[in-house]
Amino acid sequence: MKILIDNGHGADTKGKRSPDGRLLEYKYTREIAGRVEKELRAKGYDVQLIVPETHDVSLTERARRVNEICGKIGTANVILISIHVNAAGNGPWMTARGWSAFTSKGQTKADILANHLYAAAEKVLAGHKIRKDMSDGDPDWEEGFYILRKTKCPAVLTENLFQDNKDDVDFLLSDKGKEAIVKLHVDGIVSYLKSIGA
Protein backbone atom coordinates (compact mmCIF):
# COMPACT_ATOMS: atom_id res chain seq x y z
CA MET A 1 0.00 0.00 0.00
CA LYS A 2 1.27 3.46 -0.95
CA ILE A 3 0.64 6.15 1.65
CA LEU A 4 0.55 9.67 0.21
CA ILE A 5 0.92 12.62 2.57
CA ASP A 6 -0.26 16.08 1.55
CA ASN A 7 0.57 19.18 3.60
CA GLY A 8 -1.63 22.25 3.59
CA HIS A 9 -0.82 25.41 1.65
CA GLY A 10 2.52 27.08 0.88
CA ALA A 11 4.82 29.89 1.96
CA ASP A 12 3.08 32.27 -0.44
CA THR A 13 -0.49 31.48 0.72
CA LYS A 14 -2.00 34.58 2.33
CA GLY A 15 -3.25 34.23 5.90
CA LYS A 16 -3.05 30.63 7.21
CA ARG A 17 -1.17 31.60 10.35
CA SER A 18 -1.77 32.29 14.01
CA PRO A 19 -2.65 35.91 14.90
CA ASP A 20 0.76 36.36 16.54
CA GLY A 21 2.59 34.81 13.56
CA ARG A 22 4.17 32.04 15.65
CA LEU A 23 2.44 29.24 13.75
CA LEU A 24 2.60 29.28 9.94
CA GLU A 25 0.34 26.56 8.59
CA TYR A 26 2.49 25.74 5.56
CA LYS A 27 5.61 25.35 7.72
CA TYR A 28 3.90 23.47 10.52
CA THR A 29 2.12 20.97 8.28
CA ARG A 30 5.32 20.28 6.34
CA GLU A 31 7.14 19.53 9.58
CA ILE A 32 4.36 17.19 10.73
CA ALA A 33 4.09 15.54 7.30
CA GLY A 34 7.85 14.96 7.22
CA ARG A 35 7.83 13.40 10.67
CA VAL A 36 4.84 11.18 9.81
CA GLU A 37 6.65 10.06 6.65
CA LYS A 38 9.82 9.27 8.61
CA GLU A 39 8.01 7.26 11.29
CA LEU A 40 5.95 5.26 8.80
CA ARG A 41 9.08 4.50 6.74
CA ALA A 42 10.80 3.29 9.91
CA LYS A 43 7.90 0.86 10.32
CA GLY A 44 8.45 -0.45 6.80
CA TYR A 45 5.65 1.37 4.95
CA ASP A 46 5.83 2.91 1.49
CA VAL A 47 5.25 6.65 1.99
CA GLN A 48 5.54 9.67 -0.27
CA LEU A 49 5.09 13.40 0.27
CA ILE A 50 3.15 14.77 -2.69
CA VAL A 51 4.23 18.39 -2.10
CA PRO A 52 7.94 18.56 -1.17
CA GLU A 53 8.05 22.18 -2.35
CA THR A 54 7.63 25.04 0.13
CA HIS A 55 5.71 27.30 -2.28
CA ASP A 56 2.00 26.71 -2.69
CA VAL A 57 1.16 24.00 -5.20
CA SER A 58 -2.32 24.28 -6.69
CA LEU A 59 -5.04 21.85 -5.69
CA THR A 60 -5.31 20.85 -9.35
CA GLU A 61 -1.63 19.86 -9.40
CA ARG A 62 -1.85 18.10 -6.03
CA ALA A 63 -4.77 16.00 -7.26
CA ARG A 64 -2.98 15.32 -10.54
CA ARG A 65 0.07 13.98 -8.69
CA VAL A 66 -2.08 11.70 -6.55
CA ASN A 67 -4.07 10.40 -9.50
CA GLU A 68 -0.92 9.79 -11.54
CA ILE A 69 0.31 7.47 -8.77
CA CYS A 70 -3.12 5.82 -8.62
CA GLY A 71 -2.88 5.22 -12.37
CA LYS A 72 0.53 3.59 -12.06
CA ILE A 73 -0.09 1.22 -9.14
CA GLY A 74 -3.87 1.02 -8.92
CA THR A 75 -6.31 3.12 -6.90
CA ALA A 76 -6.91 0.24 -4.48
CA ASN A 77 -3.22 0.40 -3.52
CA VAL A 78 -3.14 4.07 -2.49
CA ILE A 79 -4.43 6.20 0.41
CA LEU A 80 -4.06 9.95 0.92
CA ILE A 81 -3.89 12.00 4.11
CA SER A 82 -3.96 15.80 3.79
CA ILE A 83 -2.69 17.54 6.93
CA HIS A 84 -4.00 21.00 7.90
CA VAL A 85 -4.55 23.28 10.90
CA ASN A 86 -8.06 24.71 11.30
CA ALA A 87 -9.11 28.34 11.72
CA ALA A 88 -12.36 29.87 12.97
CA GLY A 89 -11.81 33.37 11.64
CA ASN A 90 -9.35 35.67 9.92
CA GLY A 91 -7.80 38.02 12.44
CA PRO A 92 -7.84 37.97 16.24
CA TRP A 93 -7.73 35.02 18.62
CA MET A 94 -10.92 32.93 18.54
CA THR A 95 -12.50 30.43 20.94
CA ALA A 96 -13.08 27.42 18.65
CA ARG A 97 -10.89 24.43 19.47
CA GLY A 98 -10.41 20.79 18.59
CA TRP A 99 -9.37 18.10 16.13
CA SER A 100 -11.43 16.85 13.20
CA ALA A 101 -11.22 14.88 9.96
CA PHE A 102 -13.04 15.34 6.67
CA THR A 103 -13.95 12.99 3.83
CA SER A 104 -15.81 13.43 0.57
CA LYS A 105 -19.59 13.09 0.59
CA GLY A 106 -21.10 9.60 0.73
CA GLN A 107 -19.90 6.36 2.25
CA THR A 108 -16.48 5.32 0.94
CA LYS A 109 -13.32 3.59 2.17
CA ALA A 110 -12.18 7.05 3.28
CA ASP A 111 -14.82 6.94 6.03
CA ILE A 112 -13.21 3.78 7.42
CA LEU A 113 -9.75 5.38 7.29
CA ALA A 114 -11.19 8.43 9.09
CA ASN A 115 -12.68 6.16 11.78
CA HIS A 116 -9.19 4.82 12.55
CA LEU A 117 -7.77 8.34 12.70
CA TYR A 118 -10.57 9.40 15.06
CA ALA A 119 -9.89 6.40 17.32
CA ALA A 120 -6.21 7.35 17.44
CA ALA A 121 -7.04 11.01 18.11
CA GLU A 122 -9.33 10.06 21.01
CA LYS A 123 -6.40 8.26 22.67
CA VAL A 124 -3.54 10.58 21.79
CA LEU A 125 -5.39 13.88 22.30
CA ALA A 126 -7.13 12.92 25.55
CA GLY A 127 -8.33 16.13 27.18
CA HIS A 128 -8.65 17.96 23.87
CA LYS A 129 -11.91 18.50 22.04
CA ILE A 130 -12.58 16.00 19.26
CA ARG A 131 -15.02 17.55 16.79
CA LYS A 132 -17.46 15.06 15.28
CA ASP A 133 -20.44 14.98 12.94
CA MET A 134 -22.40 11.84 13.81
CA SER A 135 -25.35 12.70 11.54
CA ASP A 136 -24.51 9.82 9.16
CA GLY A 137 -23.41 7.37 11.84
CA ASP A 138 -19.66 8.03 11.78
CA PRO A 139 -17.58 10.87 13.23
CA ASP A 140 -16.00 12.44 10.14
CA TRP A 141 -17.28 15.60 8.52
CA GLU A 142 -18.22 15.29 4.85
CA GLU A 143 -17.34 18.20 2.58
CA GLY A 144 -16.71 18.84 -1.08
CA PHE A 145 -13.06 19.83 -0.59
CA TYR A 146 -11.19 19.65 -3.91
CA ILE A 147 -8.42 17.35 -2.65
CA LEU A 148 -11.08 14.89 -1.46
CA ARG A 149 -13.40 15.12 -4.48
CA LYS A 150 -10.81 15.05 -7.22
CA THR A 151 -8.50 12.27 -6.02
CA LYS A 152 -9.34 8.69 -6.95
CA CYS A 153 -8.05 6.92 -3.82
CA PRO A 154 -9.48 6.98 -0.28
CA ALA A 155 -8.58 10.46 1.03
CA VAL A 156 -8.93 12.09 4.44
CA LEU A 157 -8.17 15.70 5.34
CA THR A 158 -7.27 16.30 8.99
CA GLU A 159 -7.72 19.63 10.76
CA ASN A 160 -5.29 19.53 13.66
CA LEU A 161 -6.67 21.95 16.23
CA PHE A 162 -6.99 25.70 15.56
CA GLN A 163 -4.27 28.14 14.52
CA ASP A 164 -6.35 31.03 15.88
CA ASN A 165 -6.91 29.59 19.35
CA LYS A 166 -4.05 30.57 21.66
CA ASP A 167 -4.20 27.42 23.82
CA ASP A 168 -4.28 25.20 20.74
CA VAL A 169 -1.31 27.06 19.23
CA ASP A 170 0.70 26.76 22.45
CA PHE A 171 0.06 23.00 22.41
CA LEU A 172 0.71 22.55 18.69
CA LEU A 173 4.09 24.30 18.89
CA SER A 174 5.24 22.37 21.96
CA ASP A 175 7.33 19.20 21.61
CA LYS A 176 4.51 17.28 23.29
CA GLY A 177 1.97 18.69 20.85
CA LYS A 178 4.02 17.91 17.76
CA GLU A 179 4.65 14.38 18.99
CA ALA A 180 0.91 13.91 19.61
CA ILE A 181 -0.15 15.13 16.16
CA VAL A 182 2.46 12.91 14.48
CA LYS A 183 1.50 9.91 16.62
CA LEU A 184 -2.22 10.14 15.94
CA HIS A 185 -1.59 10.14 12.18
CA VAL A 186 0.89 7.26 12.34
CA ASP A 187 -1.27 5.19 14.70
CA GLY A 188 -4.45 5.85 12.73
CA ILE A 189 -2.88 4.97 9.38
CA VAL A 190 -1.20 1.80 10.70
CA SER A 191 -4.43 0.70 12.40
CA TYR A 192 -6.35 1.14 9.14
CA LEU A 193 -3.76 -0.72 7.08
CA LYS A 194 -3.72 -3.62 9.53
CA SER A 195 -7.52 -3.77 9.44
CA ILE A 196 -7.47 -4.31 5.66
CA GLY A 197 -4.50 -6.67 5.77
CA ALA A 198 -2.13 -4.27 4.05
CA distance 155 to 136: 18
Give the number of residues written for the chain.
198
pLDDT at 13: 84
Mean pLDDT, rounded, for 38-47: 98
In 3D space, the residue among 147, 82, 70 whose CA is nearest the CA of residue 113 turns out to be 82
In angstroms, what CA-CA distances link 198 with 39, 138, 140, 151, 195? 17, 23, 23, 20, 8
pLDDT at 15: 84
Give the residue extent of every domain in the chain: 2-195
Q: Is the CA virtual torsion 49, 115, 90, 36 positive or negative?
A: negative
Each residue's pLDDT tens digit, 91-121: 899 999 999 999 999 999 999 999 999 999 9
SS3 call for 176: helix
Q: What is the pTM of this model?
A: 0.97
Q: Does residue 177 register a pLDDT over 90?
A: yes
pLDDT at 14: 84
pLDDT at 12: 87
Mean pLDDT, rounded, for 120-127: 97
CATH superfamily of the domain spanning 2-195:
Zn-dependent exopeptidases (3.40.630.40)
Q: How many CB atoms lie within 10 A of CB 163?
A: 25
Q: Number of helices (H) and strands (E) in the chain: give both, helices first.
A: 6, 6
CA distance 100 to 110: 14
Q: Does residue 90 register a pLDDT over 90?
A: no
Q: What are phi and psi of 19, to 5 degrees?
A: -55, -30
In angstroms, what CA-CA distances link 104 with 134, 147, 148, 149? 15, 9, 5, 6
Query: In the chain, what is the straight-line distance between the N-terminal and C-terminal CA atoms, in Å?
Result: 6
Q: What are phi and psi of 162, to 5 degrees?
A: -120, 130
pLDDT at 178: 98
β-strand pairing of 155-162 with 78-86: parallel
